[in-house]
Amino acid sequence: MRYTVLILSMMVIPFSYASNASYDYEKAHIAFNASEIEAAYIHLKNALKNTPDDLPSQLLMAKILLQQHHYTDSASLYQEALSNGADINLILNELANALMLSKQYQQVVALNDLGKLNYNNHLQWLLLAANAYSALDEIEKTNLYLQQAYVIAPDNIRVLQSLSTHFLAQKKHLQANEKITHLLSLFPEDAKGWYLQGQLHIAKFEYKQALVALEKAYQLAPLDPFIQRTLANVYTGENRINDALSIINLVLKNSPEDPFALLLKSRLLSNNHQEAESRLILDDISNRLSLLSDEDKQSNQSLLYVASVSAYVKGDFELAQTQLQAYLKDNSDDLFAINLLVSIYISQGQWSKAQTTLENKPALIKNDLKLSLQLVEIYLKKNKLFKAEQMLNNLPVHFQKTADYLSAEALLLTRLNQSTSALALLDSALDLDAHPKLLITKALILKENNNIAAAMLIADNLLITDVNNSDYLKLKSTLLLAENKWLEALTIIEQILVIKPNDYTSLFNKASALALVNQLAPALTICHDLLARTPNASQVLILQAKINRDLREVDHAIATLVELLQKEQSNISALETLLYIYISQQKNIAAMSLLDQLTKLSFLNPKYVRLKAQVYLALKDQDNSNKQIDILSSLAKSSQDFYALAELQAKANMLVASKLSLEQAISTLEGNSTDKLNIEFALVNINLILQDYAVSNKLLNSIEQQHPKNSLTALLRGHYYYAQQQFLPAQAYYFKTLILDKKNTQALIKLYQLAQLNIKNDEFIQLVTALLEDFPDYHLARNLLADHYLNNVNLLAAKPHYEILASVKSLENQAAILNNLASILQFEDLESARFYAKQAVEINSTSAAFSDTYAWIIAQQGDYDLALNLLRNAYAMDSNNPSITYHLAFTLTKLERNKEALTVLRKSLDNTSIFSERVQAEKLFQRLTQATSQS
């Protein structure tokens, strides 16, 4: 009896545990159905603590783990339940989802081996296995399993949906269309079928048909998130912003925390010019993401994606770039993410990185128009025209009728010097569809061909349709910049920044425009702000270098560009900017080295051949310069080519050849009256230099009849008389030029030269004084007036003008201005004179005249040893300057080195040049001669 009781007692204990497990499971089940997930989880934890192998508890716990995105734990628990006897038919879909989401793809394929699947689930397993092989990028096996499913059940809705999806992913549009048509003929109310029909139309760029299909899908399944998002995206592409917003608001009503929907809503609000609301959403996303660790973001691909897109939209390109690179390690075929990353590289000027990223995905990008055209843009930027042409020619035929493709083709034709064909292509396309992209491209090509007026008309007409469209405003600002209307361009850019306060491109354009109107400090501040966001942005670094150059911080500019080129050796814009700095600094050997690099990157580029010829001329290497000019002659085809060649030939003193090139420029001109007039002006000039006054007069008579009120016509008539030394009529025409164009610098300089000959001296002073009243920042006019006063020894009148000019640090001749001001001040304030003279020498240490001024002021202060050292240096640079030799002799006498001073002074007086101190030099010579004879 005791034994029996013992047995019963032993049986009670497990029964008690089982009862508790069952109790906890039921509680969990009720909580789960009431969506009280946390309570269900606690009950299940208790159940499994008491009975770890309880199958109902394991299966429900696995389901909760799956819903909470703990995919690996969920899959493990499902597999443990299978080992405890769970029926695979009950859990096939959930287990497969857990395995797929935890990237255990081979385990999905092996599910058929875990137990006997019924007919429906065997069919489902074939579809699941196909998904797994698709994830593994094993396309043949994917197709094999889908075809097996199709053989078993050719009219099964899931099979047809899966096959259609597969064919769409493979860009097999004919097969996809066949299966979708079959699907909808059997199941006309299938929302997914209509959704797939919409996706097919999108893939074929048939957006209006796509909208019909997607709206039908939405009508059948208004809460399906994929249908909602796709429909919203198509509405966005068709500029139906309010329709898109209504869809996204519905998504967010059901899923208020959905980060993808929030991102899309932010983008839509921005497109609808609701920047403040858009920014609030982005800030909210960023705040939520900031609560997560970097590890959390890295481990959750969806979060990483949202974080990267949010950073991109907010303009934090550096963070977006880092996160996109991490995301693409595991999602290397995500087209949108690749597009964003490449866009960031391009915005930063990292063209080589962008090119490598795209070229590493040839099969992928060939079937994506946006990525393909990004690569074409890169090839055009890097002057790889053949590659760009190949890329366009190899794209699928259905791409070739899109506005984006046609725009890229037109830009390529323009780069191939076929602008007429490019414009004809666009006009033909615009007859069928006045797409804004085509209009913008046409305007940009017109700009490149100097037809700004026609381009501006396009921009203005676009803005009539949407006055706040940032793309249209950007076009207008670009055209204004091309017309040198900096302030008007700045106004437009500010308008864009009101709409999009952090728009990177507009901030960059603002900095560029500010630099052009000489507001260098605020321009530099914007550059620093942009570089804080994107430290490697090459175009910003190049702009910063240009600003440093204009601020006379040339060494800083060179250092920035050299450092950039160490990272991006083939950055053409950086190479060109550094090249022009070297040329301006007369560092011709360094300039030639850069030109060698550029010609390797762009073989026989006429621009670089032309610059090589110019640098050889600067190096006084006439033979090599002529060789480059010969190459340029062989490359010349268009009127513009011959015109540029003529300019270079004139510089090389090949005047007859220059005249012939100008005549060829006229004969090859394609009807642009502005270009024709410029060439005719150049022909007049070259004939004047050749002293063929009869031909010049004949040409001028013809031009005057057609353009009687053209300022350049008046200017050339002035040159005509000036060349024949008929100065009074020349002066009258130069005055006429300035009446027609108050800022014509050539006429102003010629009037200055005539005033130096004492021709209409007072009229020149009155004219420039009046100009400065109208244009107080007209620095050239002020400089000429100051120089005129100085040359006429009116130091009192010259001084205030030089003082004003000395405060403008960006002037090219700043050193000369400072030197002249020092020369004036030496008669009243030696310390101030020394201050300005020192600055002049620091800017240009290779000028003998500047070193002489500085040394002479120091000598007058009594520091003869230092003055002597500086004068020796000046004399070494220009031993024929009588003023320098006089100053050197004077300083030597102060150091009691009279014989040496006498030798130097004799050379000064032997010089027949006129110099202001000749009388003082002669007196010193007499005194020294007497002193020497007496000794």
Rounded to whole angstroms, how far apart are CA atoms 892 and 894? 5
Report which residue type is found at 323: Q
Rounded to whole angstroms, how far apart are CA atoms 364 and 264? 25
Rounded to whole angstroms, how far apart are CA atoms 510 and 500? 13
Regions of the chain short of the pLDDT cut 50: 1-19
Quick one: pLDDT at residue 295? 58
Quick one: pLDDT at residue 112? 81
Report which residue type is found at 328: L
* Sign of the Cα pseudo-torsion (182, 183, 187, 191, in order): negative
Rounded to whole angstroms, how far apart are CA atoms 124 and 158? 8
Quick one: pLDDT at residue 4? 29
At a CB cut-off of 8 Å and minimum separation 6, what does 24 contact? 43, 44, 46, 47, 50, 57
At a CB cut-off of 8 Å and minimum separation 6, what does 203 contact? 168, 171, 173
Rounded to whole angstroms, how far apart are CA atoms 406 and 426? 7
The Cβ of residue 726 has, within 10 Å, a number of other Cβ atoms equal to 12
**Is 662 exposed, middle or buried (CB count within 10 Å of its CB: 0-12, 13-18, 19+)?**
buried
Rounded to whole angstroms, how far apart are CA atoms 764 and 789? 11
Planar angle of CA 689, 691, 695, nearest 5 degrees? 105
Burial 773-784 (b: 16+ CB within 10 A, else e): eeeeebbbbbbb
> In what helix (H) or strand (E) does residue 380 lie, and over which residues does it extend?
helix 369-381
Rounded to whole angstroms, how far apart are CA atoms 590 and 579? 8
Rounded to whole angstroms, how far apart are CA atoms 679 and 645? 12
Place of tokens 């666009």: 426
With beta carbons less than 8 A apart as the criterion, state whether 679 and 669 touch. Answer: yes
Planar angle of CA 186, 189, 195, nearest 5 degrees? 100
Quick one: pLDDT at residue 294? 58
Q: How many residues does the chain have?
A: 935
Closest Cα partner for 650 from 676, 608, 686? Answer: 686
Note the Cα 714 to chain centre separation in Å.
Answer: 41
Quick one: pLDDT at residue 301? 63
- The DSSP secondary-structure symbol of 760 reads S
